[in-house]
Chains A and B, each alone.
Chain A
Amino acid sequence: MSLSHTLTLNVPFENSNQANIAMKVLQPDPILKPQDFEVTYTTEGNDLVASFASIDDRVLRVGVSNVIDSIKTIIETMDEL
């Protein structure tokens, strides 16, 4: 089955250092089974770009929301600590 449901998320940080940190923090974790869901992270300037691909919308929703939760934690850490 192909991962035909895709979503690209663009998160602009204050500088490229922050975007790079965010990418490194997110990279290690497998979110769901690789045959159902894939995510790759890159940076473009100050932006973190997360590219998601999934077998259907239900799996996509769970994976994307999970990663956004992590990104919000990363942002809060940078803001407050």
Chain B
Amino acid sequence: MKSPSALYNSPDITEKSFSVKESESRYRTTNGKTTGPSTYVLNAGQVDIDKPSDPKIDHVTQQPTALSKLRMELTGIQDDINEFLTERMEVAKNKKLKTQNSLEEKRIENEINELLDGGDGDNDDEEEKKEAHAK
């Protein structure tokens, strides 16, 4: 069976392709790096007992079934895509900082910072949001 693959395009770079490299372990596990528990719960001391299930092993060949192999390879591709796009997001963020020299932009940025960091009720808002989700 073929392996999964992906192709990325955006206005400012030439295309980037994603494919499975047989030798690398990230394409042979169901437990992806970028699909673990969120950092918030890990920081609160959560031990992960909810990992994805293991691949199904065909008892004749003693190898993972074709669909299990597909699931593992897709897990690796998912990590590749997530890591790549995260890098691109960092680049975009840095670019923004470099061009941010107009007075108007500075004023707006200050306004936002005051709203987020200054005065009462901001942290409470974050807590409220988390608690609203965590019913």
Contact = CB atoms under 8 A, between A and B. Distances in A.
B74 A6 contact: no
A8 B35 contact: no
Contact of A75 (B34, B35, B71): B71
Interface in A42-72: 46-47, 56-58, 60-61, 64-65, 68-69, 71-72
B74 A61 contact: no
Contacts of A41: none
Contact of B6 (A9, A47, A56, A61): A9
A61 B80 CA distance: 11
Contact of A72 (B1, B75, B92): B75
A29 interface: no
B8 A72 contact: no
Interface residues of B, number: 33
Interface string B39-55: 00000000000001100
A53 to B, nearest CB: 9
Contact of A5 (B2, B6, B10, B77): B10
Nearest to B70: A75
A64 B53 contact: no
Contacts, number: 87
B67 interface: yes
Contacts of B100: none
Contact of B1 (A9, A12, A76, A78): A12
B74 A58 contact: no
Given A11-B70, A46-B2, A80-B56, 8 more contacts: A5-B11, A9-B4, A13-B67, A14-B66, A65-B78, A68-B77, A71-B74, A80-B53
Interface of A: 4-14, 46-47, 56-58, 60-61, 64-65, 68-69, 71-72, 75-76, 78-80
11 contacts: A6-B10, A7-B81, A9-B77, A11-B74, A13-B1, A56-B92, A57-B10, A65-B35, A68-B74, A69-B78, A72-B52
